[in-house]
């Protein structure tokens, strides 16, 4: 009788899980469709919405300390706003933010109280605290998480006539934050949003809540892989960046035998780092699944090309930023998913706001969201960087530094990102992130940006057929004249005798990508480039070390420019041996 009772409870729990999963999927799709409609409608009147938003923000905040200082009350147009309010950087807000964080002072920058502080790396090691209002969080919730399901639903309805199937998602976005002494959460914004739906994550994500929101140090790579692999009904994979997704599949590739043994026996290997109490909690969630383990072993033994659709036959999409400098990771992920799974590049966002979103599956350009802030643009090549343009003045193909007035108390704020306008979606510009102004290489005024380097590497890979896992560039000014050092981690060791030829290829590509660099090489103003191949797993070792030292995986971006002595020592030490 006991056995029968337990069986009934198990069936009842399974029925509830299935029903909840179906219901949540429907809600996500509904919210996603609504977000899509809003993008479409708002993009049709992006110019007027933009101005209306600015005027609303100025009116709301005219009695704040910042508003009084710059006389918001008497600003009646965009041109007056530009005249009266200066362009700003974080340091301009730092004294106000310090008073907000430490003394809980109100009405300094905005009447909208901060509901969160996003932490971003500061220039001198003290993290920047970026205030985030409730309205800003709503934008993140709507476009950062909700929109994705609308985009994928549209993709499947267009291609198969059916909507998104219900199922579970492997989530790699880490929820890691603490509170200020006045009880305001601080950390990654995505964590705050996830926390709001804590009670339902178990019906839509593969990881238990204690893996999504880990207390104490534990082996999250194992746990995420373990809980996802034991299910066959995984339909989506989501991470902040494509790097995290690739790292997870690489982890599975290296450890599938242990993972399968554990799934077979319904246990967690004793070598896996988990606090004892937590281990007991996780083990109660597991039961032996010999049949699933056997299936997995069979598929893993066939190799890892296209593995994800073989172990998860209902896999429907991959979501994570894989554009621009992440392209090597997107290529690698393609090998794991096969070519038929749509990718969603999510959003173009920073701690200071969510500015644009991918409107279609596979889009590498993002549609600017006029309700996310008021935007101005400084032409990237302008000598005068105090003159800004508005969205109605932008031209397709041109590059601009983006300046934002956000929903959380930053006014005419230079986030130092340069974007390219790739077209227009109705009135709203579509844009691609090109480079961080602080990440530009310029030894002799040649101004090589991240995009030029990315293009050169992409062309290099095409010409040489080498697979490059990751890459960085260093501007060496110790020698005269200075020169660039390209560092690349190939998939397999490159024979020494081929290095000189490969150097010539990447040099030629770089000269083509940045004609100013080419001129300086031809005239001897710069010395020829140096090419260094790195040992396999160097970039993974760097990420492992950064995580060990406390960096959130959500904030680990590729190292494109070697711009600190610490990075230089790390990467130059791990060059391939010959």
The Cα–Cα gap between 451 and 324 comes to 7
217 binding another protein? (CB under 8 A): yes
Q: CB-wise, 164 or 574, nearer to another protein?
A: 574
In the complex, least distance from residue 541 CB atom to another protein, rounded to whole angstroms: 4
User: At its nearest, how many Å lie between another protein and the CB of residue 206?
Assistant: 22
Residue 548 lies near another protein (rule: CB under 8 A): yes
| Angstrom distance (rounded) from CA 547 to CA 544 | 5
Interface residue with another protein, options 206, 538, 552, 555 (CB under 8 A): 538
The only residue of 534, 559, 561, 562 in contact with another protein, by rule CB under 8 A: 534
Tell me the window of 35-43, 93-101, 503-511, 542-550 that interacts with another protein (CB under 8 A): 542-550
The string of DSSP letters for 56-116 reads HHHHHTTTSHHHHHTTGGG--SHHHHHHHS--B-HHHHHHHHHHHHHH---SSS-SS-EEE
Tell which residue, 437, 423, 432, 415, has the closest CA to residue 353.
415
- Give the Cα separation of 398 and 421 in Å (integer): 6
Contact status: 570 vs another protein (CB under 8 A): yes
Among 4, 215, 270, 523, binds another protein (CB under 8 A): 270
537 is a site residue for another protein (CB under 8 A)? yes
- Picking from 429, 474, 498, 461, the residue whose alpha carbon sits closest to that of residue 571 is 474
Identified binder of another protein from the candidate list 65, 104, 219, 476, rule CB under 8 A: 219
121 is a site residue for another protein (CB under 8 A): no
- CA dist 493 and 38 (Å) reads 50
Selected range binding another protein among 37-45, 108-116, 160-168, 263-271, rule: CB under 8 A: 263-271
What DSSP state is assigned to residue 497? G
Segment contacting another protein by CB under 8 A, of 13-21, 143-151, 331-339, 533-541: 533-541
What is the distance between the alpha carbons of residues 99 and 568, in angstroms, rounded to a whole number? 37
Stretch that binds another protein, among 336-344, 375-383, 443-451, 536-544 (CB under 8 A): 536-544
In a 3-state reduction of DSSP, which class is residue 393? helix
User: How many residues contact another protein, by CB under 8 A?
Assistant: 30
**Residue range at the interface with another protein (CB under 8 A); choices 88-96, 235-243, 509-517, 535-543:** 535-543
Q: Which is nearer to another protein, 133 or 552 (CB)?
A: 552
Question: Helices 290-301 and 242-265, interaxial angle, to 10°?
Answer: 130
Find the binder of another protein among 266, 536, 556, 557 (CB under 8 A).
536
DSSP 153-216: HHHHHHHTS--PPP-EEEE-----EEE-TTS-EEE-HHHHHHHHTGGGGGGTBSS-HHHHS--S
Angle between helices 2-44 and 46-60 (to 10 degrees): 100
Q: Which of 160, 271, 386, 479 touches another protein (CB under 8 A)?
A: 271
Q: What is the DSSP letter of 270?
A: T
- Residues lying near another protein in the complex (CB under 8 A) are found at 217, 219, 254-255, 258, 269-275, 534-538, 540-541, 544-545, 548-549, 566, 569-570, 572-574, 577
């Amino acid at each position: 009788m006991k056995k029968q009772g337990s069986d009934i409870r198990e069936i009842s729990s399974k029925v509830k899980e299935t029903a909840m999963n179906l219901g949540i999927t429907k809600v996500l799709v509904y919210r996603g469709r609504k977000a899509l409609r809003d993008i479409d409608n708002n993009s049709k009147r992006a110019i007027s919405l933009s101005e209306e938003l600015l005027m609303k923000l100025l009116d709301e905040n005219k009695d704040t300390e910042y508003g009084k200082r710059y006389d918001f009350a008497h600003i009646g147009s965009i041109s007056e706003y530009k005249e009266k309010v200066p362009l700003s950087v974080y340091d301009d807000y730092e004294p106000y933010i310090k008073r907000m964080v430490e003394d809980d002072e109100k009405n300094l920058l905005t009447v909208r109280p901060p509901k969160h502080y996003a932490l971003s790396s500061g220039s001198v090691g003290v993290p920047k605290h970026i205030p985030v209002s409730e309205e800003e969080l709503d934008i993140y919730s709507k476009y950062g998480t909700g929109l994705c399901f609308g985009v994928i639903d549209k993709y499947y309805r267009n291609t198969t006539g059916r909507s998104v199937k219900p199922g579970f998602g492997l989530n790699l976005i880490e929820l890691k934050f603490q509170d200020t002494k006045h009880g305001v959460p601080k950390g990654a914004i995505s964590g705050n949003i996830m926390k709001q739906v804590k009670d339902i994550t178990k019906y839509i994500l593969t990881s238990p809540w204690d893996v999504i929101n880990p207390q104490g140090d534990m082996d999250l790579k194992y746990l995420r892989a373990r809980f996802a692999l034991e299910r066959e009904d995984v339909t989506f994979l989501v991470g902040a960046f494509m790097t995290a997704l690739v790292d997870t599949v690489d982890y599975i590739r290296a450890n599938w035998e242990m993972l399968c043994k554990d799934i077979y026996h319904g246990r967690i290997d004793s070598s896996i780092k988990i606090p004892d109490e937590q281990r007991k909690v996780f083990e109660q969630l597991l039961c032996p699944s010999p049949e699933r383990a056997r299936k997995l072993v069979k598929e893993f033994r066939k190799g890892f090309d296209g593995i994800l659709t073989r172990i998860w036959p209902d896999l429907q999409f991959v979501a994570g930023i894989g554009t621009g400098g992440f392209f090597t990771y997107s290529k690698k992920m393609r090998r794991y998913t096969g070519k038929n799974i749509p990718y969603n590049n999510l959003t173009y966002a920073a701690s200071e706001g969510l500015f644009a979103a991918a409107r279609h599956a596979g889009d590498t350009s993002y549609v600017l969201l006029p309700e996310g802030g008021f935007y101005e643009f400084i032409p990237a090549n302008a000598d005068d960087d105090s003159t800004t343009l508005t969205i109605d003045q932008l031209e397709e193909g041109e590059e601009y530094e983006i300046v934002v007035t956000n929903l959380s108390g930053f006014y005419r704020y230079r986030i130092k990102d340069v974007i390219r306008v790739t077209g227009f979606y109705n009135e709203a510009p579509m844009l691609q992130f090109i480079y961080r102004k602080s990440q530009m290489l310029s030894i002799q005024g040649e101004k090589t940006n991240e995009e030029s380097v990315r293009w050169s590497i992409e062309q290099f890979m095409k010409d040489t057929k080498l697979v490059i896992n990751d890459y960085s560039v260093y501007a060496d000014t110790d020698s005269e004249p200075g020169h660039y050092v390209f560092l690349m981690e190939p998939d397999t060791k490159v024979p020494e005798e081929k290095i000189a030829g490969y150097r010539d290829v990447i040099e030629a590509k770089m000269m083509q990508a940045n004609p100013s660099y080419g001129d300086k090489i031809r005239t001897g103003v710069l010395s020829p480039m140096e090419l260094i191949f790195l040992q396999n797993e160097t970039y993974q070792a760097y990420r492992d070390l950064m995580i060990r030292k406390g960096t959130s995986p959500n904030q680990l971006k590729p190292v494109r420019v070697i711009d600190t002595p610490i990075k230089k020592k790390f990467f130059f030490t791990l060059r391939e041996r010959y």
